[in-house]
Amino acid sequence: MSTRTTVGILGGGQLARMLALSGAPLGLRFLVMDTVADACAGQFAPLLVGDYRDEAALAQFAGKVDVATFDFENVPAESAEWLSARAQVFPNPRALAVAQDRLAEKTLFRELDIPVPEFATVASRQDLERALDAVGVPCILKTRRLGYDGKGQFRIRGYGDADAAWEALGAQAATVGLIVEAFVPFERELSVVAVRGRDGEFRTWPLTENWHVDGVLSASLAPARVEPELARRAVEHARSLAQRLDYVGVFALELFCRGGELLANEMAPRVHNSGHWTIEGAQTSQFQNHLRAVLGLPLGDTGAIGHACMLNWIGQMPDAGAVLREAGGHWHDYGKEPRAGRKVGHATLRADAPAALADALERVGRTLGRESQVAPPVAALRGL
């Protein structure tokens, strides 16, 4: 690595922005490519605006970067392949392709003995009946590709919902494909954020517990309070996945936990929202370690510093004061225009002890009128 090393990032959202911020102390330069001119990483790094399928734009990008990586997993796999013939690309396009398709992903999980909820693919309206019989109800009809943050999903509570589900997503059977998954009445959602270096070194941050609202992450707490045996299994699942995919960089494995059993939901082949707490709550953040991994540098320690809780700001930013007044309060505004459902920022609260973190969360929740957002992590911290 030299101070002239340029890291290219496909996708210019908040993940690219936080990667660029994290890479600045390493003397790195960045080039971000996005389809829109107001991509928020463009406020910190040169931005190339272009379509990911446009070979001229990709060639321009490849010519300027030493290594390329992703902030966005839905970059077409063919574009990643094309790029990898012209530049070093991490993670490799095969890992990206697997993570882009819920069927390929679940099939791989099964091959690796990572338990998954029952599932069946759906090609037509009649097929949906067969899938419902095979999987049972309640279940969720999901697009195989291009779904994120709960988008491209329809909850089927009983057979009577099949028409409405088909009405909502049926048209996408021919384009992105559909899959039915058993609904898991999970007790907790956990994620393993992991990093694998070019030399195969593998590390994980402490497990994170996550709470979603309408399919979108609302709060993350780390380290999650889990039995050591459960944590060991979660880490082994992530390790086997990383090895099989010859993965380089950071990824997240999302897990449902039910009755001591872990079921894999999906993997994200990039830095992940449930790892944002690592910026202030771990020795080395997921962003820093992702850059180190793709550049072949030594990985940093992934240990937690006390206890941290991340709160997502969706739609619009609340007032910063309540968080900034906290001793362990950290504010992240992604510089985006407010828009319903959009992730515009987050806050992380950090403390040395669970009770102190719970107190801080309650103060912030009260001041911002967000008691319901802080309630689940507070309950977990207080052992309720």
Instruction: Compute the CA torsion angle 101, 105, 108, 112 (nearest 10 deg).
Output: 170
331 lies in the site for ligand AMP, by CB under 6 A: no
> Minimum CB separation from ligand AMP for residue 94, in Å?
21
**CA separation for the pair 375, 312 (Å, rounded):** 14
**Strand pairing partners for 8?**
31, 68
Contact residue for ligand AMP among 181, 209, 280, 326 (CB under 6 A): 181
Q: Which is nearer to ligand AMP, 265 or 278 (CB)?
A: 265
Of 102 and 330, CB closest to ligand AMP? 102
User: What is the closest distance, in whole angstroms, from the C-beta atom of residue 217 to ligand AMP in the complex?
Assistant: 7
Does 117 interact with ligand AMP (rule: CB under 6 A)?
A: yes
Which residues have C-beta within 8 Å of that of residue 340, sequence separation ≥ 6? 315
Site for ligand AMP in 144-163 (CB under 6 A): 147-148, 150
Binding to ligand AMP (CB under 6 A) within 269-328 occurs at: none
Task: Name the residue among 280, 230, 223 with its Cα closest to residue 18.
Answer: 280
101 binds ligand AMP (CB under 6 A): no
Residues 192-221 that bind ligand AMP (CB under 6 A): 212, 215
Q: Shortest distance, CB of residue 220 to ligand AMP, whole angstroms?
A: 11
Q: Is 335 in the site for ligand AMP (CB under 6 A)?
A: no
Residue (34 or 266) nearer to ligand AMP, CB: 266
Secondary-structure percent of the chain, ordered helix, strand, coil, rounded to 5 = 35, 25, 35
Rank residues 111 and 187 by Cβ distance to ligand AMP and give the closer one.
Answer: 187
- DSSP reduced 3-state for 8: strand
CA 363, distance to chain mean position in Å, is: 28
Interface pick for ligand AMP out of 34, 266, 280, 326 (rule CB under 6 A): 266
In the complex, what is the shortest distance from the CB of residue 364 to ligand AMP, in angstroms, rounded to a whole number? 23
Q: Is 85 helix (H, G, I), strand (E, B) or coil?
A: coil
Which residues between 239 and 258 bind ligand AMP (CB under 6 A)?
Answer: 254
Closest to ligand AMP by CB, 198 or 258: 258
Residues sharing a CB contact under 8 Å with residue 351, sequence separation 6 or more, in sequence order: 306, 307, 327, 328, 357, 360
Pick between residue 93 and residue 152 the one whose CB is nearest to ligand AMP: 152
DSSP state letter for 25 = G
d(C-alpha 336, C-alpha 17), whole Å: 11
Q: Does 184 bind ligand AMP (CB under 6 A)?
A: yes
Q: Which stretch binds ligand AMP (CB under 6 A): 161-169, 179-187, 288-296, 344-352?
A: 179-187
DSSP H stretches of helix in the chain:
14-23, 55-64, 77-84, 93-100, 102-111, 125-135, 162-169, 228-244, 278-281, 286-295, 321-324, 354-368, 371-381
From candidates 69, 191, 265, 302, binder to ligand AMP by CB under 6 A = 265
d(CA 87, CA 161): 48
Footprint on this chain of ligand AMP (rule: CB under 6 A): 117, 140, 147-148, 150, 181, 183-184, 189, 212, 215, 254, 265-266
